[in-house]
Amino acid sequence: MVKFKEMKYQRPDPEALKAALAALVEKLKGAESYAEAKAVFLEKEAQVKRIQTQSTLASVRHSIDTRDEFYDAESKFWNATYPELQEYTQAWTAAMLDSPFRKDFEEEYGDLMFVNAEIELKTFDPKIIPQLQKENELTQEYEKLLASAQIPFEGKVYTLSQLTPFKTGADDAKRLAAWKAEGQWYKDNQQELDRLYDELTHLRDEMGKALGYEGYTTLGYYRMGRNCYDKNDVEKFRAAVQKYLVPVADKIYRQQAQRLGVAYPLSFADAALEFRTGNPRPVGTPDDILKAGRDFYDELSPETSEFFRTMLEGELLDVLSTEGKQSGGYCTSIPDYNVPFIFANFNGTQGDVEVVTHEAGHAFAAWMNRDRVPMEYVWPGMEACEVHSMSMEFFGESHAEGFFGPDARKFLYSHLAGAITFIPYGTMVDHFQHEVYAHPEMTPRERHDIWKRMLGVYMPWLKLDGDIPFYSDGEGWQRQHHIYSSPFYYIDYCLAQTVALQFWALIQKDKKDAWERYMAYTKQGGSRVFTELLKNAGLESPFEEACLRGVCAAADKTLSGFDLGGIE
């Protein structure tokens, strides 16, 4: 097979791409039979695959080393080119919607591609091309700023990712010093972080208004491809989180304060330490973690075994934390090669193992659906995609000892507790963005004040003292990439975590049945909307209050009775 480093990148001629797309539109309009129209449709699929392959190769290689001048230039090229191509892809979309063979397409491929196409048409007009290009530039500036971080700590210099393990260390003074060092870097770059987000907020508001909306929120939902729920559904979910989840999460942190022997509410630095002897750490080197991952996937199913071995053989995981590397982690697809790719920053924390389960959960779903037509059916909506990844994390618990050795029990408690405590945070990220885009005129300070107020609602276990000004002043949201680069994405994690907790509960009862439901969910790819994917796999919708109430009660019961004997 072709390894990632052997995949050839070549910048295409944008004018040739535009001409090719325009010609395909005319061929589709001129088709005299469904057979002709389908042939043009498949030709367009191949063209899009080629475009996405080249843009993805440029993007991934740039994120691996943001200092690489060649791929930095290529990323800028794609940032400018994609908005220009959108005019031509929208012309194709309009031609498909108007095609006399639409019913034939729906019969063969389902109607979701047309539902999504109608939403897509609401997101673009050629007049917003300059704003889209500027949005890409600003987002890239933010990513490069974070990747450039050089943080002095205890006589050495670290990137943001490399500093992370110290932020969860068992030594109180050292841990607090790490939080302060990180916070100071953000404070030192406060002006630039405020400027970037202020420009992005106004830019997005302008785009929304240019397309005839009240501002950005409606456009943001359309850009996220939301096709089976709206803002009202999210507000109901938010209310259920405050009602059922925040109290359970608060109980977890009260018990944590007791375990640690610290005051409640906790400081940000103390909230990051779950056990007095330290948080669960994976055993071995990054290679050892990947080998443990291979053992897990070999045992889970024949499909997962073939998938993960392909990832390893093709060198389709880039997981070491290196200088100049973009922070965070993600999974993407390289369509022409029919493979996914995983990007991460291993740093010696339990997050390394969660990469092998979480990002590989995404990758496995793409692998299972790699031959789908149309290509857009490979992936479902973002919230549905996150179910693949977050649920795979719970299946990975069966190999806790292989990943964590003596810290296995710590991990099992931490992972379930973390799933519960994450949802209030993630919901707050979404709520914050709704406030920002409803009031784009706010000053940076007013935005910080909103975040600080919301911390009291969603995360009352945190003490807003002055130890780390960046956090206590309500500026901690600026660490969250999605707020800058993918507005309104973050609620998807919360909806998916709620579904993943259903899988956790099913695994406790009957792992075989749970896996069969997981496969039933995953094999549908993106051919159905989120709520239908769930229904077809026998799962409850997170928008039903009973769903959140149920998973909260089950998790609370397990955590309350969890045997932490011998663990300090």
What is d(CA 26, CA 412) in angstroms, rounded to the nearest whole number? 57
DSSP structural state of residue 348: S
| Count of beta carbons in the 10 Å neighbourhood of residue 563 | 8
pLDDT tens-digit profile of 194-224?
A: 999 999 999 999 999 999 999 999 999 999 9
Nearest to 147 by CA among 343, 346, 325: 325
pLDDT tens-digit profile of 446-494?
A: 999 999 999 999 999 999 878 899 999 999 999 999 999 999 999 999 9
Q: Which residues of 128-144 are buried (b: 16+ CB within 10 A; e: fewer)?
A: bbebbbbbbebbbbbbb
Q: CA geometry: angle at 85 spanning 101 and 134, to 5°?
A: 140
| Count of beta carbons in the 10 Å neighbourhood of residue 191 | 10
Residue 526 pLDDT = 97
Nearest to 450 by CA among 439, 466, 460, 461: 439
What is d(CA 412, CA 394) in angstroms, rounded to the nearest whole number? 9
Residue 467 pLDDT = 86
Q: Residue 35, class by beta-carbon neighbours within 10 Å (0-12 exposed, 13-18 middle, 19+ buried)? A: exposed
Q: Which regions in the chain score pLDDT beneath 50?
A: none
Residue 210 pLDDT = 98
What is d(CA 328, CA 64) in angstroms, rounded to the nearest whole number? 11
Q: Residue 566, class by beta-carbon neighbours within 10 Å (0-12 exposed, 13-18 middle, 19+ buried)? A: exposed
